[in-house]
Chain A
Amino acid sequence: MMFSTARNLRKHGVLGVNERNARLIMKHNPRRLYPNVDNKVITKELALAAGMAVPELYGLIGHQSEVRNLGKVIGERDSFVIKPAHGSGGDGIIVVTGRSARKRDCYRMASGLLITESELQHHTSNVVGGQYSLSGNPDIALIEYCVEFDPVFANVSYQGVPDIRVIVYRGYPIMAMVRLPTRMSSGKANLHKGAVGAGIDMCSGCTLNGVLDNAVVDEHPDTGALIAGLQIPGWDFILRSAARGLEVTGLGYLGVDIVIDRHHGPLILEMNARPGLNIQIANCTGLAGRISRVDELYDAAASPEARAKFARSEFAVATSRA
Chain B
Amino acid sequence: MTMRYVYLLAALLTAIGVSIFAYKWQVLGFPLTDDQETPVWTVETSVHFDAGPGPIKASLQIPTLTPGFGISEEYSVSRNYGFSVNNVSGGRQAQWTVRRTAGQQTLYYRIVVYEDRDADLSDTTPPFPLPPVINEPLRTAVDVIVSEVRGHSADAASFTAELLRVVNSPSPGSSVNLLLAEVDTPLEFVKIMTTVLAAARIPARIIRGMELQDRTRRANLIPWLEIHDGVRWRFFNPRNGNENLPDHFLIWCRGDDSLVQVAGGTNVEVRFAVQKNFIDSMAVAEKRARVRQSVLVNFSLASLPIQTQAVYSVLLMIPIGALIMVLMRNLVGIDAFGTFMPVLIALSFRETRLFWGIVLFTLLVALGLSIRFLLERLRLLLVPRLSAVLIVVVLLMLVISIASHKMGMETGLSVALFPMVIIAMTIERMSVVWEERGPADAIRGGTGSLLVAVVAYLAMGMNWLEHIITSFPELLLVVLAIVILLGRYTGYRLSELVRFKALSGE
Identity of the chain B residue whose Cβ is nearest the Cβ of A23 in the assembled complex: B490
B311: Cβ under 8 A from any A Cβ: no
Say how far B300's CB is from chain A's closest CB, in angstroms: 37
Q: A5-B504, A17-B333, A281-B503 are in contact. Are A64 and B381 (CB under 8 A)?
A: yes
Q: A122-B379, A192-B441 are in contact. Are A12 and B503 (CB under 8 A)?
A: yes
A78: Cβ under 8 A from any B Cβ: no
Q: Are B488 and A22 in contact, CB atoms less than 8 angstroms apart?
A: yes
Q: Are B503 and A280 in contact, CB atoms less than 8 angstroms apart?
A: yes
Identity of the chain A residue whose Cβ is nearest the Cβ of B506 in the assembled complex: A8
Q: A9-B504, A19-B490, A281-B503 are in contact. Are A2 and B382 (CB under 8 A)?
A: no
Per-residue CB proximity of B469-506 to A under 8 Å, as 1/0? 00000000000000000001111111011011111111
Q: Are A5 and B497 in contact, CB atoms less than 8 angstroms apart?
A: yes
Residues from chain A with Cβ under 8 Å of B436 in the complex: 91-92, 132
The secondary structure that dominates the A interface is helix
Residues from chain A with Cβ under 8 Å of B492 in the complex: 6, 9-10, 14, 16, 18-19
Identity of the chain B residue whose Cβ is nearest the Cβ of A19 in the assembled complex: B490
A131: Cβ under 8 A from any B Cβ: yes
Per-residue CB proximity of A280-305 to B under 8 Å, as 1/0? 11001110000000000000000000
Q: Are B491 and A14 in contact, CB atoms less than 8 angstroms apart?
A: no
A146: Cβ under 8 A from any B Cβ: no
Q: Are B490 and A192 in contact, CB atoms less than 8 angstroms apart?
A: no
Residues from chain B with Cβ under 8 Å of A274 in the complex: none
Q: A5-B506, A126-B382, A193-B437 are in contact. Are A19 and B491 (CB under 8 A)?
A: yes
CA distance A92 to B502 in the complex (A): 32
Q: Which A110-142 residues have C-beta < 8 A from chain B?
A: 122, 125-126, 129-132, 136
A214: Cβ under 8 A from any B Cβ: yes
Say how far A27's CB is from chain B's closest CB, in angstroms: 9
Q: A9-B504, A12-B505 are in contact. Are A18 and B330 (CB under 8 A)?
A: yes
Residues from chain A with Cβ under 8 Å of B382 in the complex: 126, 129-131, 136
CA distance A68 to B264 in the complex (A): 106
Residues from chain B with Cβ under 8 Å of A11 in the complex: 505
B383: Cβ under 8 A from any A Cβ: yes
Partner of B502, one of A16, A18, A284: A284
Interface residues on B, range: 20 to 34
Q: A17-B496, A125-B381, A131-B432 are in contact. Are A5 and B501 (CB under 8 A)?
A: yes
Identity of the chain B residue whose Cβ is nearest the Cβ of A93 in the assembled complex: B436
Partner of B500, one of A14, A23, A126, A130: A14
Say how far B407's CB is from chain A's closest CB, in angstroms: 38
Q: Are B490 and A129 in contact, CB atoms less than 8 angstroms apart?
A: no
Q: Are B490 and A9 in contact, CB atoms less than 8 angstroms apart?
A: no
Identity of the chain B residue whose Cβ is nearest the Cβ of A6 in the assembled complex: B492
A215: Cβ under 8 A from any B Cβ: yes
Per-residue CB proximity of A39-79 to B under 8 Å, as 1/0? 00000000000000000000000001000000000000000
Q: Are B488 and A215 in contact, CB atoms less than 8 angstroms apart?
A: no
B438: Cβ under 8 A from any A Cβ: yes
CA distance A44 to B95 in the complex (A): 93
Residues from chain B with Cβ under 8 Å of A214 in the complex: 499-502
Say how far A225's CB is from chain B's closest CB, in angstroms: 22
Identity of the chain A residue whose Cβ is nearest the Cβ of B331 in the assembled complex: A18
Residues from chain B with Cβ under 8 Å of A285 in the complex: 503
Say how far B386's CB is from chain A's closest CB, in angstroms: 9
CA distance A312 to B383 in the complex (A): 50
Q: Are A281 and B502 in contact, CB atoms less than 8 angstroms apart?
A: yes
Residues from chain B with Cβ under 8 Å of A136 in the complex: 382
Q: A64-B381, A130-B382, A131-B432 are in contact. Are A16 and B505 (CB under 8 A)?
A: no
Q: Are A2 and B333 in contact, CB atoms less than 8 angstroms apart?
A: no
CA distance A130 to B428 in the complex (A): 13
Which of A6, A11, A122, A132 is packed against the most chain B CB atoms within 10 Å? A6
CA distance A122 to B505 in the complex (A): 49
Which of A4, A11, A14, A215 is packed against the most chain B CB atoms within 10 Å? A14
Residues from chain A with Cβ under 8 Å of B438 in the complex: 193
CA distance A193 to B382 in the complex (A): 25
Q: Are B494 and A9 in contact, CB atoms less than 8 angstroms apart?
A: no
Identity of the chain A residue whose Cβ is nearest the Cβ of B494 in the assembled complex: A2
Residues from chain B with Cβ under 8 Å of A23 in the complex: 490
Per-residue CB proximity of B321-347 to A under 8 Å, as 1/0? 000000000100100000000000000
Identity of the chain A residue whose Cβ is nearest the Cβ of B505 in the assembled complex: A8
Say how far A97's CB is from chain B's closest CB, in angstroms: 20
Say how far A46's CB is from chain B's closest CB, in angstroms: 27
Residues from chain B with Cβ under 8 Å of A122 in the complex: 379
Say how far A23's CB is from chain B's closest CB, in angstroms: 6
Q: Are A16 and B381 in contact, CB atoms less than 8 angstroms apart?
A: no
Residues of B within 8 A of A (CB): 330, 333, 379, 381-383, 432, 436-438, 441, 488-494, 496-497, 499-506
Beyond contacts A12-B503, A284-B502: 6 other A-B pairs, Cβ-Cβ < 8 A, are: A6-B497, A8-B506, A9-B504, A64-B381, A136-B382, A281-B499
26 pairs across A/B with beta carbons < 8 Å? Answer: A2-B494, A4-B506, A5-B501, A8-B504, A8-B506, A9-B496, A9-B503, A12-B505, A14-B492, A14-B496, A16-B491, A16-B500, A17-B333, A17-B496, A64-B381, A129-B381, A129-B382, A129-B383, A131-B382, A136-B382, A192-B437, A193-B437, A211-B502, A214-B502, A216-B502, A281-B503
Give the 9 A-B residue pairs with the shortest CB-CB distance, closest first: A129-B382, A8-B504, A19-B490, A16-B492, A122-B379, A91-B436, A5-B497, A22-B490, A14-B500
